[in-house]
Amino acid sequence: MSNLIHFLNGKFVSEDKLLISPRDLGFTRGYAVADFIVTYNHQPFKLSEHVDRLFKSAEIIGLQIPWSKEQISLWVKETLDKNDKDTEKTIKIVLSVSQLARLKNEGIEDVIYYDNS
């Protein structure tokens, strides 16, 4: 399996260098929102609907997303472009609050995760 490229905290990162803090509230307490997207013909299926749902989920739990829907969609597409086109992808977008923000809705960490399964 090739080393997939992920988007984490504003940077493209190879899977072997992918690190998430064990103090991240999304990791330790589940204070996060997530959505899964599949690709067909190497395009994210219904991307705008998935991003809309991500924002709605964040609103429900009181998580303020500091980026626009367009920016998140762009990151998804850019991350897909940096990975091989040989197989379809499963995309997982996770937005969580970092340990520094605690529950103040600051310091959201963004994770776009790809799985070849």
Instruction: Compute the distance between CA of residue 33 and CA of residue 114 in angstroms, rounded to an integer.
Output: 16
Domain extent, residue 109, equals 5-115
Q: What is the DSSP letter of 65?
A: P
Segments in the chain below pLDDT 70: 1-2, 22-23, 25, 98-117
Give this prediction's pTM: 0.75
Number of separate domains in the chain: 1
Encoded amino acid at 38, one letter: V
Instruction: Compute the distance between CA of residue 46 and CA of residue 99 in angstroms, rounded to an integer.
Output: 32
Q: What's the count of helices (H) and strands (E) in the chain, helices before strands?
A: 3, 6
CATH number at 98 reads 3.30.470.10
Strand order in the sheet with 5-8: 11-14, 5-8, 108-115, 90-97, 32-40, 43-44
pLDDT in tens, 30-61: 788 999 999 999 999 999 999 999 999 999 98
Q: Whose structure tokens read 């997530």?
A: 34
